[in-house]
Amino acid sequence: MRPTVPRVLVVARTALALPIAAAALVLAAGTASAADPPPAGSVPPDQDPFYSAPSDIGSYRPGQVVDDRKITPKTGDMADTTDAWQISYRTNDSHDHPELAVTTLLVPKKAWTGGGPRPVVSVQAAEDSTGTQCAPSYGISSGQGYGASSALFAASVLAKGWAVAMPDFEGPKSVFMGGPQAGHAVLDGIRAVKSLGTGGIGTSNPWALDGYSGGAQATGWAAELQPSYAPDVRLAGAALGGTPADPAAVARSLDGGAFSGFEAAGTVSLAAEYPEAGIDDLTTAQGKEALQQARGKCLTDLLTGFAFKRLADYTTVPDPLSVPSVAAMLKKNTMGAAAPATPIYDYHANTDEIVPVAQANVLTRAWCAKGATVQIVRDLIGEHAVEALVRGDDALSFLADRFAGRTPPDTCA
């Protein structure tokens, strides 16, 4: 039976971004004078000069820090338990053009008592949106909007005493499903944190990656690109689950269904990031209007506005995914062309209703064939959001073992 729209909203709120509850708690700071500048991070990115690239951004090295500022997190109890900084840095988009990205460094106030330097995990929170107001950095620093739920992704990592770096991996153009762009932003964010050396996090701290669903897409791309793009960034391991590795396969699965808003987000994002794919030229007048409506939106608006829509409803061809220019672009954004050098924990529910497991299995087979070390975990039943909860602790246990130097399990054979 086709799910009703109310159910779409209930499931979607836990789907790729997992805003399980209203996590944002805006902390009152008293009455401020009209002349006082707004608190750092309280202004939406499109209106905040901190997010603007300098005119000479191309002269910066990938991962070089452009600016940093201390912020007071406005989600949950982070202000009491965590020191936080926003760090802007140079990275590269999908065409290796320079752009500015921002990552949020979260360090527990409680002293690290484990052996060696405090571990750090680059946590990729699923943003799945087309507007910068949905970015994790703004949600954490303002306590407002969809991005505020990003704190949920960091909570279990911080509870272990580890530090978290949470990059806005969709970049200044809010590109959803842009694989190379996301991988660059993650790896350059690690470079930026390491070189800044604030909060007790410097060059000697061990690093790992973690992400689920939309965050797993960025995590997987970072792991795959690390040997070629950032060999200086050493990773102890990477955990990813519910991974949308093949955008074409995921789009075909979502098309016309309850969660086709994800497809709308990917379409408008990739059309802007890859104009050479000619997506705009394939759209009807209604399609052009739909693309405009999908820009600058957070996930919930996309899901409600585009539920049960089909790509063919907006295009001049019956199968736009098969148009050669579009297919070539989608292939560039499909994981599996190279093997990660770091051990991988890959988990997925076989009955995932949003991200089909078959295309994730293609990815793990490709990685294994190229020599990667992968622990593959598949659960016979389970919904997309539930899988993240079921296996979240196991993913962190995998990373804890990697930080401890234990031999990683390998189920590739």
Residue 27 lies in a domain: no
Q: Which of 331, 358, 377 is the last residue of a domain?
A: 331
Are 81 and 94 members of one domain?
A: yes
DSSP structure class, residue 283: B
Residue 28 lies in a domain: no
Are 71 and 83 members of one domain?
A: yes
| 166's tokens | 């949470």
Encode burial over 254-283: b for 16+ CB neighbours within 10 A, e otherwise.
bbebbbbbbbbbbbbbbbbbbeebbbeebb
| 358's tokens | 């078959």
Are 230 and 292 members of one domain?
A: no
Residue 30 lies in a domain: no
Are 94 and 171 members of one domain?
A: yes
Are 147 and 205 members of one domain?
A: yes
Residue 210 lies in a domain: yes
Residues of the chain predicted below pLDDT 70: 1-35, 147
Residue 32 lies in a domain: no
Residue 136 lies in a domain: yes
Are 85 and 197 members of one domain?
A: yes
Are 216 and 348 members of one domain?
A: yes
Question: For residue 26, what pLDDT is reported?
Answer: 34
Q: Which of 309, 331, 353 is the last residue of a domain?
A: 331
Are 287 and 213 members of one domain?
A: no
Q: Are strands 374-379 and 98-108 parallel, antiparallel or unpaired?
A: unpaired
- The 10s digit of each residue's pLDDT in 238-277 is 999 999 999 999 999 999 999 999 999 999 999 999 999 9
Are 255 and 307 members of one domain?
A: yes
Q: Say if residues 257 and 311 touch (Cβ distance below 8 Å).
A: no
In whole angstroms, give the CA distance from residue 259 to residue 112.
Answer: 42
Q: Say if residues 167 and 186 touch (Cβ distance below 8 Å).
A: yes
Helices (H) and strands (E) in the chain, counts: 13, 9
Are 278 and 238 members of one domain?
A: no
Encode burial over 349-371: b for 16+ CB neighbours within 10 A, e otherwise.
beebbbbbbebbbbbbebbbeee
Q: Say if residues 240 and 344 touch (Cβ distance below 8 Å).
A: yes
Q: Say if residues 260 and 8 touch (Cβ distance below 8 Å).
A: no
Domain that holds residue 231: 39-245+339-403
Question: For residue 23, what pLDDT is reported?
Answer: 35
Residue 23 lies in a domain: no
Are 227 and 280 members of one domain?
A: no
Q: Which of 312, 331, 350 is the last residue of a domain?
A: 331
**Residue whose entry in the numeric block shows the structure tokens 């000697």:** 204
| pTM for the predicted model, two decimal places | 0.91
Interior CA angle at 48 toward 222 and 87, to 5°?
40
CATH of the domain at 287: 1.10.260.130
Q: Is 196 exposed, middle or buried (0-12, 13-18, 19+ CB in 10 A)?
A: middle
In whole angstroms, give the CA distance from residue 368 to residue 381.
Answer: 24
Query: How many domains is the chain built from?
Result: 2
In whole angstroms, give the CA distance from residue 28 to residue 46.
Answer: 24
In whole angstroms, give the CA distance from residue 217 to residue 221.
Answer: 6
Q: Are strands 120-124 and 207-212 parallel, antiparallel or unpaired?
A: parallel
Residue 16 lies in a domain: no
In whole angstroms, give the CA distance from residue 11 to residue 6.
Answer: 9
Question: For residue 29, what pLDDT is reported?
Answer: 35
Q: What residue type is 300 in one-letter code? A: T
Are 312 and 371 members of one domain?
A: no
